[in-house]
Every structure is written in structure tokens, then in C-alpha cells.
A and B are shown apart, each in its own frame.
Chain A
């Protein structure tokens, strides 16, 4: 509060917090709990689930497609639609991740190996149930953070200069490399390959072309979405056909069909048994790991709040934290339910985090909030501290809060239906499924930019992914390297340009902390292995 009055030159009216609060809340509730608005929320939830579940289509694209519609919608309804869509799309990204091994969003790439391994063991409903329940938990936590402490937290975003962003980006990348299945060296190799791929094209720092071989198409660089589809999806198709036997196998190999054990009554068979299938393990795990969920959600909200850092970094850091403090770290990468849960709650809580700087200062936390700011401006609402004080506009802010909660609640039943529907996918025989997956991959890669070059990128990355996997090199760090490589280079060069000596990288307190953590992340496995070796050999 003090901060806003002093450093923003704006004034919170005292009475707003005391008297008008409940009134504004009531108005906001009234505006949302109308049939048309509730209808829009349900429709956007379904739309978000759908868009998120198709690889190549992103939540950002879905929101961009909504923009023309928002011209016709009331302010509250327009924002409600976007919030709901976003919350549902990021969960839906887990569906193709688990079922066909194509991460729907980059943040799902953190646990794609785990989820797919479990699907192959016939446990896809369990995995997705966990993803759903933990997503909802994370989303609700993120909403709570947004509601209670947006103005205070937004201040932290202004402590972040290029030094802090450099270390944070490096930390996210390091977590990806260290945590991945296989050895540290192979994780590092994957990361470096990803970073090198990100340098193809016009460098954002110098705007000079690199590795483009005078091709106009290469100047745009390698888009991470076709790369992700290729690395995971196409490589999986390639592997499957290479060892293909001409029989009607399904993806699930040693699976057991849980629904067949259903009881006699119709209600039991259609509702209770499926509910148990999807939610039994999940609710149990959620209860046992409530503190872990809290930790992941805090990480997620914090990282999501920083403009330019997003759900992907949040998911990787929580996944790494989760593994570091787990009792069974050897399960990670092979099908760890814990890791999946922790990472999904982090990426969902990051969403609400991105709204903090967007609402408080009009600085977008991610690409979706960038669109939202545009929509707000179009509706003659200028995001900034005054949005909390102006009466009609603070109704809107409360509207956003309420929809964040509602969206996560709507996600539960709709997500359940999506899981049930999606689970049929793995029962389709492979000779039919594989070509269809390939077609969707092609269209997904093409859709993002409408470019044939992206289709080639997908193919190239598919072959690269196949080769890397043959040599047990993890693919997650490659994707994250492609996504964050530009950011890493930029913040690195910016910091170098500003600084006079190396110490400047650690001089600011937050930068120092993040830097030290980074160094620790890389050194700790080495130290541990050295220590172990000595311990093993000395007696």
C-alpha cells in the first residue's frame, strides 16, 4: 500500500478498502453470475480444452482468435472468456503429452517422458487425473496469490534487470539439463544442441543473420512449436514404424483395462467407476503431497509473475525441486506421478502470476496478457494502479479474480470428460493411429505460422529426436534450449554490455542469489558423485 502511494504517484482511497470492497465484490459477482456470462465461461472452457489438446495450437493463438469476438462482448464477459480459455488450455496441453507424447505446451515437456511411460503401462487415466487435479490446485493457488498480493508482488518485477533475468533463464535451463533422464553430460549435450539451434536466424541482439546460408526462410530461425512436435511426436512415430509388426497393436502394451472391471449398475459403470479411475490415485496423492503442491505453486506464481519468464521455466524448476527432495528420485523420467503433479501445479499457478504485472503496471507477463492489455485498451481501460481504485474498473478486476476461481472449478468436470474421451485414443490400433498423428503433426506445425519451412523443421527435428533418443539423450532440454536460447543470449549480452567486471553479475542481491543457485545446480551432482566415489573406494 505504502509503496503504491509513494512510488507510483497515485493514491489508494482509504475508504475503498474499508467500505466499498464488499459492494464492488457484490457488483462483480452479480455481473458474472448471469446466464449469458456463465454460458460464455463454459463454452470458452470447452474451446480452451480443445485448442490446448491439439498439438501446434496454443492458448495464445486461441486468445488471439477470440479478439474479434471481444468487440461484441461486455467487458466482464470478454475477460472471463479469456481467463477461462487460458486456464483450461494449459491443462489440456497435458492430454496429448500423455497420450501421444507430443507436449501440448512447452511446459508439459518437463514431464512428457514420465506421462508417456505411464500411458504405455495403461495408466493414462491415472496420469491425466493427477494432471487435472494438481492443475486445478495450482490454478486456485495462483488465483489466490493474484487476489491477495498483486500490488505488492508487482513491485518485485521491477527489481529484475537483465542480470536477474540472465540467471533465472540459466537456472530454468540448468534444471532441465540436470533433472532429465540419463546422465548429466547427456543433459548438457541436449541443452547445448537446443541453444545452438536457437542461434539460427537473425540474432535479436545484433540483428545480423547467423547460420542462415543466405536463405530468407532460415532468417526467421527455428520455431519451437514445430521443433517440439518434431522432436517428440514425429520421432515417436518414426520409432514405432521402424520396429513395426503388421498386427493391430495399440499404444498401450502391457495395459490392463480398468473400466472393464466395472460393476453391474449403469450408474456405477458410467459414472462412479470412471470417476474412481481418474481421480482415486490423484486425490490420494494430492492429499499426501499438499505441501509439495504449495511449494510448486509458489515457484510457479513467482516465475509467472516476472515478465518474460513463464510457465515453462516454472514447470522445470519445480520438477527439478521435486526430484531433488523426493524419496524416489530414480522414478523421475520413468513415470513419476509425483513429478508430474508438482510440475503441472507449477505451470497452472504461473498463469495467474502473469496477470500481476499486466494489471498493476500494464506490463504483460506473457503473450496472452499482452493480448489482454490490448483488449483492455480497446475497451478504454488503461491497466495500471488506477485500475484498482476506479470504481467501475475495480469491478472488472474482481471479475477477473472470480473467473480465475470459476474457471478452475469448471475445468474439473470438463477436464474429466476430456480425459475420458481422450483415453479412447490409445485404443485405436497403431496402423490407423500413426498416420493420423502424423497428419495432425503436419497441420499443427504448419498452423502456427502458415509456413512450409516449419514443416521441414518438424521433419528435421523428428529425425534429430530419433537419433538423440537412440543414444539416450533427453529431448526436453533441447526444446527448452530452443525456447530460451534467444532470451539467454540477449540478457547475457545486455548484462555484459552494461557491466565493467564479472562481479557485476552477482552484485545485485537477487542476481547474486539466483547466480549462486545456478552454480550450485551444476556443481551439486558433481560434488555428490565425487563424494560418493571417495566414500565407496576409501573403505
Chain B
């Protein structure tokens, strides 16, 4: 219910915008005409759940370049990192199923839901193409020659359980799982080698070389540079057959242990994506993985080989079946009582925060003591008195940011940003025409700069921009 007077006031407040409405409509119609095109007609977003510089990121960026070549639209990689892969996978699964959000899925997709970190599983995706499999391998320091082969380590562990330390990823990560699985297959307890959690294979290898741990479990490409430098020595690879590119590394099966596991990477779309779009992408990807798409005269397999990634591709149906099987395998291992024991380390997750809370309490106490002993000298000294207008401006800024976070996905970047900046300019006392000129200059400039030149995936909204 609005009183007539209030309505009049709102109308007078709104009048500057009413004059812009025809332009907005004109723009909308223009864009609306462009929107009806065959897929893909605008930039595609490729979500990489891992950080810049890692293997998955590298692979994602290469696939993106080739896809760009094949589909003739920009393909932008975004690293939605954190949460051991939860963030990227869940964002990819819950994206609009219009084919414009692809996800580089990794092996963690089949592990996270078993560990109850997320609800998302492979069932939330339509698998498009598996691109790579990297089996786990076991490394030791090269200069020591401590063990001949796996059985020598196993004997060592049997004699003195709990003395050796291994690393490779966080506790409960894929390489930890691989190590525990091997120990189990060799008839040992999964926790008879101490697992030192690290933030990925790189830091773990660094610990290995500097003598911090005795073994590292990770994939062969991850250790490639240190292998070439002669600093680490592979003891075996957990694959069914030897890996191309590493013909000298024996498999675990050759050494009498029936255990194979590894990481994989593949592309997926949200579950409800139409078959037409899936087919279009699968067709493009098939051309890429078979080396038909050339970039500067070179195909995708050439890049994969150079970087030491194992190119193994599987089309949609086969990929789906492997996903289903791997999910069951990992699930039975992760939920087994032996492994769930391993996860309970000596130090609990809340130990560090507890320590911090303790420190916080001490600091606050000390501050309080000082406050009372010194009187009000350290109390806040606001420069001037607060004015009502200032408080309103303060709230307006907060609301502006909140409005962007809430509305941009639906309205698109251009409309949201333009209204926010125009309103703020106007509220801070800029003359209407100055505000309009600034808005018309800044918003398209930011959009062109970030959205096109720098390939930031700005929200596109229902209108497509």
C-alpha cells in the first residue's frame, strides 16, 4: 500500500530513469534478435576445480584453446578452487544446463560424496569425454637406494610398522587412498606407514627430497621434473600395464601386488543438458583428442605427450560406465573400517582453531586489562560526529554490493552494474547528467575490458549480457 504522496515522491525520484527506458528497450530488442543462434553462440565457461599452475589447470587451459579453435567461440577457464574440489564440482553441477558451463571433472568427484563433504556425485553430471588417466606411483629418494623393490619396503614396514612416513596430498586424498590400498593389498594395515598431509604433490616431493618423508605417492607426470633431475626414484606404478612415456617403471602387478588406482580428468556438463548440446561438444572433443584439430600445426596428443600426461579418452557412454564402476570401487575402500581408521590422525581438525581461540582470549583479556588500567585513552576516536546522511550513505554502499551479489546472475552484469553505479552517483550528489555520462562510460568500459579482453566470465543474465 502506497500513499499517493509517497507514490509521487517515488515517481519524482524515478523520473530520471524513466527517460532512459526507451533506450533500454531498444537495446533489449537488439540483443534479443542476436540471441537466437545455434549452440554455441557466446563464450563458454570451463570450470577447473583446482588452482592455477597445477596439472588439472594446465590440461583445462589446453583443452580450452583447442575447443575455442573447434567451436569458434571463446572458452574461458575459471579456477573455482577450494574445498578439495567441492567448490568447482558443485558449481559446475548446479550451473544452468545451457551448455555454456563445462566442468573439468577429476577423480575427487567420486570421493567427496563418500566422505560426506558434499551431495554432488557423478550422477549430477552428463559425462562428455574422458581425457586423461594418470595412475598412482610410489617414489623414494634417488641417492639412497634404500629398497630394491616394493616387497623390500613391505618387509620393512612389517618389521617396524609406523616408522616410515609418506606424503603426496591431504589426508584422505586420492594418493593417500592409493597408498593405503596398496598396504591393504600387501596384507598390511593401511596405517602402518605414517601419512604426512601436504597441499599437493609438489610440496610432498619437496619434503621427500629434503629428507622430511621417506616415500611419496603421486602420479608420474607430477614427479617428472625431479625424475629427470635424478632426485627421485620410482618404485612402481599402480596401473594394469606400464605407462607410455615411462617404460622403465614397473607396475605393482609385475611385483606381485594386485592393485591399480589413479587419477583421471574428463569433461562434464550439468545433468539436464540437452542431448543436442552434449553431442555437439562430444563431436568437437573427439576431433581434438584424435588430433584432427590443429593449433599452430600441432594436435592435442602432441601437447599431452610433451607434458607427460597420459592421453586416454573415452566417449560419453563408456565414460559414464567407468565413472559408475570407479565410484563403487572407491566407495567400498573409503567406507571400509580399515580406511576410516586411517583418517583419524594424531591431531584433530579443531586443534589449530582451538589454539587460536586460546590466543584470541588471551589477547582480548590483555586488551581489556589495558583498557581499564589506562582509562579511555585508547577508545575509538571518531574524527567527527556521525550524521544521519552519512549513515544512510553507509547503508547504500552495503546495499549496492548486496544488490550485485543477489541480482547480477538474473539481470546480467550490464543492467545491474549500470543501475548500481548510477544510483550511487546520484545519491552522492552528482548531477544527473554527469552521473549518466559516467555510467555510460564506465559500465561498457568495464564490461569490454573484463568480459572481453581479460576473459572474466561476467554474469550474463537472462538477456545474454
Interface of A toward B, CB cutoff 8 Å: 7-10, 51, 57, 60-61, 64-65, 67-68, 71-72, 157-162, 183, 185-186, 188-189, 192-193, 195-196, 199, 201-211, 216-217, 219-221, 223, 234, 237-238, 241-244, 246, 307-308, 361-364, 367-371, 373-374, 377-380, 382-386, 430-432, 434-436, 438-440, 442-443, 446-447, 449-452, 455-456, 458-459, 462-463, 470-472, 486-487, 489-490, 492-494, 496-498
A308–B143 CA distance with the chains assembled, in angstroms: 25
Among the 9-residue stretches B18-26, B249-257, B350-358, the one with 4 or more Cβ atoms under 8 Å from chain A is B350-358
Q: B382–A470 contact, CB under 8 A?
A: yes
Q: In this complex, what residue of A is CB-closest to B455?
A: A65
The answer to whether the Cβ of B258 comes within 8 Å of any Cβ in the partner chain is: no
Q: B78–A207 contact, CB under 8 A?
A: no
- Nearest CB of chain A from residue B18's CB, rounded to whole Å: 21
Number of A-B residue pairs at CB separation under 8 A: 334
- Nearest CB of chain A from residue B428's CB, rounded to whole Å: 4
Given contacts A241-B393, A497-B196, 12 further A-B contacts (CB under 8 A): A72-B296, A162-B196, A162-B207, A195-B356, A207-B115, A219-B118, A238-B398, A246-B389, A386-B228, A443-B458, A455-B401, A456-B405
A430–B170 CA distance with the chains assembled, in angstroms: 48
Q: B118–A159 contact, CB under 8 A?
A: no
Interface of B toward A, CB cutoff 8 Å: 45, 51-54, 57-58, 61-62, 64-65, 68, 77-84, 86-87, 90-91, 115, 117-118, 142-143, 165, 170-173, 194, 196-199, 202-203, 205-207, 209-212, 224-226, 228-231, 295-296, 298, 303, 306-308, 343, 345-353, 356-357, 359-360, 363-364, 366-367, 370, 378, 380, 382-384, 386-387, 389-391, 393-394, 396-398, 400-402, 404-405, 408-409, 417, 420-421, 424-425, 428-430, 434, 438, 442-443, 446, 450, 454-458
- Nearest CB of chain B from residue A258's CB, rounded to whole Å: 27
B346, B364, B429 — most chain A CB neighbours (10 Å): B429
Q: B65–A202 contact, CB under 8 A?
A: no
Q: In this complex, what residue of B is CB-closest to A489?
A: B352
B79, B80, B142, B363 — most chain A CB neighbours (10 Å): B363
Q: A192–B363 contact, CB under 8 A?
A: yes
Set A71, A208, A382, A447: member contacting B225, Cβ < 8 A: A382
Q: A378–B303 contact, CB under 8 A?
A: yes
- Nearest CB of chain B from residue A471's CB, rounded to whole Å: 5
Set A61, A192, A361: member contacting B359, Cβ < 8 A: A192
Set A60, A210, A489: member contacting B52, Cβ < 8 A: A60
Q: B429–A363 contact, CB under 8 A?
A: no
- Nearest CB of chain B from residue A317's CB, rounded to whole Å: 21
Q: B417–A439 contact, CB under 8 A?
A: yes
Chain A residues whose C-beta falls within 8 Å of the C-beta of B212 in the assembled complex:
161-162, 494, 498
- Nearest CB of chain A from residue B456's CB, rounded to whole Å: 4
A/B interface sample: 24 pairs, CB < 8 A: A9-B230, A10-B229, A157-B210, A158-B210, A219-B117, A243-B390, A244-B428, A363-B206, A364-B53, A370-B53, A377-B306, A377-B307, A379-B306, A434-B424, A438-B401, A438-B424, A439-B417, A451-B87, A490-B197, A494-B197, A497-B194, A497-B197, A497-B345, A498-B194
Chain B residues whose C-beta falls within 8 Å of the C-beta of A241 in the assembled complex:
390, 393-394, 396-397, 428
Chain B residues whose C-beta falls within 8 Å of the C-beta of A494 in the assembled complex:
196-198, 207, 212
Chain B residues whose C-beta falls within 8 Å of the C-beta of A431 in the assembled complex:
425, 428-430
Q: A220–B83 contact, CB under 8 A?
A: yes
- Nearest CB of chain B from residue A342's CB, rounded to whole Å: 28
Set B306, B367, B421, B454: member contacting A435, Cβ < 8 A: B421
Q: A493–B352 contact, CB under 8 A?
A: yes
Q: A307–B398 contact, CB under 8 A?
A: no
Q: In this complex, what residue of B is CB-closest to A67?
A: B61
B230, B366, B367, B401 — most chain A CB neighbours (10 Å): B401
Chain B residues whose C-beta falls within 8 Å of the C-beta of A458 in the assembled complex:
401
- Nearest CB of chain B from residue A521's CB, rounded to whole Å: 16
- Nearest CB of chain A from residue B385's CB, rounded to whole Å: 9
Known: A64-B52, A363-B205, A449-B81. A207 touches B401 (CB 8 A): no
Set A8, A243, A446, A487: member contacting B231, Cβ < 8 A: A8
Set B387, B398, B442: member contacting A439, Cβ < 8 A: B442
Q: A207–B346 contact, CB under 8 A?
A: no
Set A201, A374, A462: member contacting B307, Cβ < 8 A: A374
A498–B207 CA distance with the chains assembled, in angstroms: 12
Q: A192–B229 contact, CB under 8 A?
A: no
A458–B296 CA distance with the chains assembled, in angstroms: 41
- Nearest CB of chain B from residue A431's CB, rounded to whole Å: 4
Which 6 A-B residue pairings sit nearest by Cβ, starting from the closest?
A362-B225, A370-B53, A220-B82, A219-B83, A384-B229, A241-B393
Chain A residues whose C-beta falls within 8 Å of the C-beta of B80 in the assembled complex:
220, 449-451
Q: In this complex, what residue of B is CB-closest to A436?
A: B442
A55–B3 CA distance with the chains assembled, in angstroms: 45
Q: B393–A244 contact, CB under 8 A?
A: yes
Q: A204–B197 contact, CB under 8 A?
A: yes
Set B345, B367, B424: member contacting A206, Cβ < 8 A: B345
Q: B170–A205 contact, CB under 8 A?
A: yes
Chain A residues whose C-beta falls within 8 Å of the C-beta of B417 in the assembled complex:
439, 442-443
Chain B residues whose C-beta falls within 8 Å of the C-beta of A472 in the assembled complex:
378, 380
- Nearest CB of chain A from residue B41's CB, rounded to whole Å: 20
Q: In this complex, what residue of B is CB-closest to A371?
A: B53
Q: A158–B425 contact, CB under 8 A?
A: no
A456–B345 CA distance with the chains assembled, in angstroms: 34
Q: B356–A192 contact, CB under 8 A?
A: yes
A205–B198 CA distance with the chains assembled, in angstroms: 7
Q: A432–B347 contact, CB under 8 A?
A: no
- Nearest CB of chain B from residue A489's CB, rounded to whole Å: 5
Q: B199–A204 contact, CB under 8 A?
A: yes
Chain A residues whose C-beta falls within 8 Å of the C-beta of B173 in the assembled complex:
207
- Nearest CB of chain A from residue B394's CB, rounded to whole Å: 5
A51–B79 CA distance with the chains assembled, in angstroms: 18
Q: A373–B61 contact, CB under 8 A?
A: no
A496–B345 CA distance with the chains assembled, in angstroms: 11
Q: B306–A378 contact, CB under 8 A?
A: yes
- Nearest CB of chain B from residue A304's CB, rounded to whole Å: 15
A368–B51 CA distance with the chains assembled, in angstroms: 11
A362–B223 CA distance with the chains assembled, in angstroms: 9
A144–B252 CA distance with the chains assembled, in angstroms: 46
Chain B residues whose C-beta falls within 8 Å of the C-beta of A379 in the assembled complex:
306
Q: B389–A498 contact, CB under 8 A?
A: no
Q: A449–B308 contact, CB under 8 A?
A: no
A463–B402 CA distance with the chains assembled, in angstroms: 13
- Nearest CB of chain A from residue B383's CB, rounded to whole Å: 6
A398–B226 CA distance with the chains assembled, in angstroms: 22
A242–B62 CA distance with the chains assembled, in angstroms: 48
Q: B52–A61 contact, CB under 8 A?
A: yes
Q: B370–A185 contact, CB under 8 A?
A: yes
